[in-house]
Amino acid sequence: MTSRILGTRLMAVLTALFNVLALNLAMILASLPLITMPVAATAAFAALDRWRRDGDDRVVRQFLIEFRARWSARTTLVAGIPMAAALLGLAEIRHFALEATLAGEAGLGLCVGALFVTLAALGYVFQLIVDEPGLSPVDLWSRSARLAVGNLLVAGVLSAAPIAGVALLAARDPAVLLLGLPVYLLYTLGQIARRGLRRAAAAGTCPGQSPTD
């Protein structure tokens, strides 16, 4: 009996690992043209969210469905601008970190602060795209920014840590991205965003969300 239970659990773990790696590969391939990266990331986030909510582990199939459904200039704009802002923030931090001047230190401090807010907001952007597709880009960005600022000390640090880790590992060897790190990053951002949304809903500061969403 015990061996049967262990065997079942092992199969569940192996199936989950296979699904993560398969989804990760599908997202990377779909992102290769670069312009498709925001849509691919949003589709992978939606597939993970469906897996979490409904237990549907056909994530690659769901990813393809989401990718076709979300392929539009709107999704590219809504998700792409915050992603580009995060990449720009990383580049600016690297630039100012090399300047041993007062202006460089001031610029570094401002860039770090702005990047923290951007990274904290990124998970909310993906989650709100999935939860409330009818939101206008301005409303979605402003709500994400408010949620990020309200949870900055928690969400900012928790979001920055995995993103920084993935960025450092990928800079040393891009092949590590094939090990599921991008999907892990999306999963982590989703966990942080859902926690913040529940907290905001419980406090009555996030219309349209219930504490159990």
Locate 111 and state its tokens. 């860039």
Closest by Cα among 117, 33, 125, 46 to 79: 125
Task: Using CB atoms within 10 Å of the CB of residue 41, give its burial: 0 to 12 exposed, 13 to 18 middle, 19+ buried.
Answer: buried
Contact 122, 156 (CB under 8 A): no
What residue spans define the domains of the chain? 2-203
What pLDDT digit, counting tens, does each position of 30-77 carry?
999 989 999 999 999 999 999 988 887 789 999 999 999 999 988 999
What pLDDT digit, counting tens, does each position of 74-98 carry?
899 999 998 888 878 777 766 666 6
pLDDT at position 39 is: 95
Locate 8 and state its tokens. 């079942």
What pLDDT digit, counting tens, does each position of 145-178 carry?
888 888 776 666 666 667 667 766 766 777 878 8
The arithmetic mean of pLDDT across residues 6-24, rounded, is: 82
Spatial distance between the Cα atoms of 70 and 41, rounded to a whole number of angstroms = 11
